[in-house]
Amino acid sequence: MKNDSSDKWGFETKAILKGQSPDPSTGATIPPIYQTSTYTLEGIGETKGYCYSRTGNPTRSAAAECLASLENGKFGFIYPSGIAAIHTVIQQLNPGDHVVTCEDLYGGAHRLFTQIVNKFGIEFDFVDARDPDNFIKAIKPNTKLVWLETPSNPKMYLCDIKAVVDKVKALAKSENREILVGADNTFASPYLQRPLDFGVDMVMHSCTKYLGGHSDLLLGAIVVRDEELAEKFAYHQNATGTIAAPFDCWLLMRGMKTLAVRMKQHHENSLSLAKWLEKHPLVKQVNCPALESSPQNDLYKKQMDLYNGMISFEIDADIEAVKGLVANLKIFQLAESLGGVESLSCHPATMTHAAVPAERRKELGINDNLIRLSVGIESIHDLQADLEQAFAQLPAAAKA
Ligand SMILES: *Cc1c(COP(=O)(O)O)cnc(C)c1O
């Protein structure tokens, strides 16, 4: 931007303008999709900052700069998927290193850790993230990374980011060693929670969810403040080729412009439905830390500015009734993924968490009667009416 006061901009202004100055050659207001693999040099050694699109592409840089500013970070990197971003973080480690992470981790991250990267000599321990001390207890002499995810999926548990960072960093300092802390901020989005402000070293996103916001792209991201870490990620991205296509980066930029208005509506709709569900006689438990009744409501208020669209609940019925309920929903579509403007329903035990062994699912409370909703931004009365009509068709409701 010409006169750069952009660091002081508010969130919404950054989302619309950061990294997105008019195109210098044409004045195009919206950054073009630079669909090019290479860049013509004016002479030997004379580039305009780009030489080959694996190393750097202006559309990708623009999206990365915008996202980095939303996270109050300095350097951003965009990857072809959220999982590719997590894999990138893990690849900064060496064989023999140890990672402490959350037990109700995103299923794909759990699979990556226990089926793929474990083969390269990296060890993982999974702890109940609701108590920060659990991370400290699991730290070993070879622990190099603590990996957080909050709110978690599908129980929407929160982890106190600042408490974990403070404890891990104090321990590392007292033992004169380095332990990095990273946070998967996918479920919150930077509009609700900015982990770098709580002291984490890196923030990761599946941009596929709230950042993109329209269920039409797959991308991942890492944002950091530290220049040395940024150099490592830039080097790694060029060396491994884990890059995102310009068109997807452009879609991400378009999505991020409306992040703030979308998140406010997700918050309003999901909280309204959570309150309604909480009162329903066939609902056993609603998982939503934004509810006053939640044991984590204080932490929610401390750590998050608003809530997202994610709630889960157990119904007092068997698996057949659960199947019937999701089948009868007309606006909530039965689908994996989350964070789009449209509302989705999901049955974690057979969908997102099917890869978790049944025994383990039981330990984690991912029961067969648990339903997860990604509440979109449709009219709230239509969403509630959809749930009402689906609940009314339950056999248990007919009996009552
Ligand atoms: C979806 C998701 C991922 C993986 O992202 P992809 O873009 O699907 O690869 C990682 N973490 C969380 C919390 C997610 O919801």
Sequential pLDDT tens for the chain (400 residues): 455 788 899 999 999 999 999 998 899 999 999 999 999 999 999 999 999 999 999 999 999 999 999 999 999 999 999 999 999 999 999 999 999 999 989 989 999 999 999 999 999 999 999 999 999 999 999 999 999 999 999 999 999 999 999 999 999 999 999 999 999 999 999 999 999 999 999 999 999 999 999 999 999 999 999 999 999 999 999 999 999 999 999 999 999 999 999 999 999 999 999 999 999 999 999 999 999 999 999 999 999 999 999 999 999 989 999 999 999 999 999 999 999 999 999 999 999 888 888 998 999 999 999 999 999 999 999 999 999 999 999 886 654 4
| Both structure tokens of 356 | 């978790």
Domain ranges of the chain: 6-257, 260-399
Is the CB of residue 263 less than 8 Å from the CB of residue 191? yes
Nearest Cα to 77, choosing from 69, 67, 87, 91? 67
Q: Among residues 106, 191, 210, 300, which one is catalytic? A: 106
Is 169 one of the annotated active-site residues of the chain? no
312 token code pair: 């889960």
State the closest ligand 1 atom to the C-alpha of 83, by its place in the atom list counted from 1: 9
What does the CA dihedral 247, 253, 258, 262 come to, rounded to 10 degrees? Answer: 70
For the CA of 153, the closest atom of ligand 1 is: 13
Task: State the pLDDT at residue 9.
Answer: 96
The reply to whether 368 belongs to the active site is no
Residue among 23, 50, 54, 264 flagged as catalytic: 54
Residues in contact with ligand 1 (CB, 6 Å cut-off):
81-83, 106, 108-109, 149, 153, 184, 186-187, 206, 208-209, 218, 220
- Whole-angstrom distance, CA of residue 252 vs CA of residue 202: 20
Q: Catalytic site residue 106?
A: yes
Matching CATH number, 260-399, of 3.90.1150.10, 3.40.190.10, 3.40.50.1110, 3.20.20.70? 3.90.1150.10
Three-state DSSP at 373 gives strand
The crossing angle, in degrees rounded to 10, of helices 246-257 and 259-279 is: 70
Q: Which of 14, 157, 169, 184 is catalytic?
A: 184
Task: Output the CA angle 60-61-63, nearest 5 degrees.
Answer: 65
Distance 82 CA to ligand 1 centre (A): 5
Q: From the CA of 70, how far away is ligand 1's center (Å)? A: 19
Q: Which atom of ligand 1 sits closest to the CA of residue 339?
A: 15
- Distance, in Å, from the CA atom of 65 to the CA atom of 76, rounded to the nearest integer, reads 6
Output the pLDDT for position 354: 87
End-to-end alpha carbon distance in the chain = 64
Q: What is the pLDDT of residue 1?
A: 47
> What's the rounded Cα separation, in Å, for the pair 366 and 394?
21
pLDDT for res 397: 62
Query: Contacts for 124-128 with beta carbons within 8 Å, 24 or more apart?
Result: 124/98, 124/99, 124/100, 125/98, 125/99, 125/100, 125/101, 126/101, 126/102, 127/100, 127/101, 127/102, 127/103, 128/102, 128/103
Contacts of 287 (CB under 8 A, 6+ apart): 154, 155, 156, 157, 294, 311, 312, 313
For residue 150, give both structure tokens.
Answer: 């909050």
**Among 79, 83, 155, 157, which is best to mutate for testing ligand 1, by the most ligand atoms less than 8 A from CB?**
83
CA of 143 relative to ligand 1 center, distance in Å: 24
Which residue in the list 209, 225, 262, 361 is annotated as catalytic? 209
Fold of 6-257: Aspartate Aminotransferase; domain 2 (3.40.640)
CA of 359 to the centre of ligand 1 (A): 24
As a whole number of angstroms, the distance between CA 325 and CA 393 comes to 8
User: What pLDDT score was predicted for residue 24?
Assistant: 87
Question: Of 310, 126, 114, which Cα lies nearest the Cα of 210?
Answer: 310
Instruction: Tell me, yes or no, if 54 is annotated catalytic.
Output: yes
Task: Count CB-CB contacts under 10 A for residue 192.
Answer: 21
Compute, in angstroms, the gap from residue 109 CA to the centroid of ligand 1.
8
CA of 91 to the centre of ligand 1 (A): 17
Q: Which atom of ligand 1 is nearest to the CA of 109?
A: 10
| 231: helix, strand or coil | helix
Going by alpha carbons, the residue nearest to atom 2 of ligand 1 is 206
Of the residues 79, 87, 106, which should be mutated to test ligand 1's pocket, given the most ligand atoms within 8 Å of the CB?
A: 106
Which spans in the chain are helix H?
Answer: 11-17, 58-70, 82-90, 107-111, 133-138, 161-174, 227-240, 246-257, 259-279, 297-303, 319-328, 358-364, 380-392, 395-399
CA of 83 to the centre of ligand 1 (A): 6
pLDDT of residue 3: 52
Strands 310-315, 370-374: pairing is antiparallel
What gap in Å lies between CA 126 and CA 135, rounded to an integer? Answer: 9
User: For residue 226, how many C-alpha atoms fall within 13 Å in the half-sphere facing its CB?
Assistant: 13
Show the DSSP H helices in 283-372 as ranges.
297-303, 319-328, 358-364
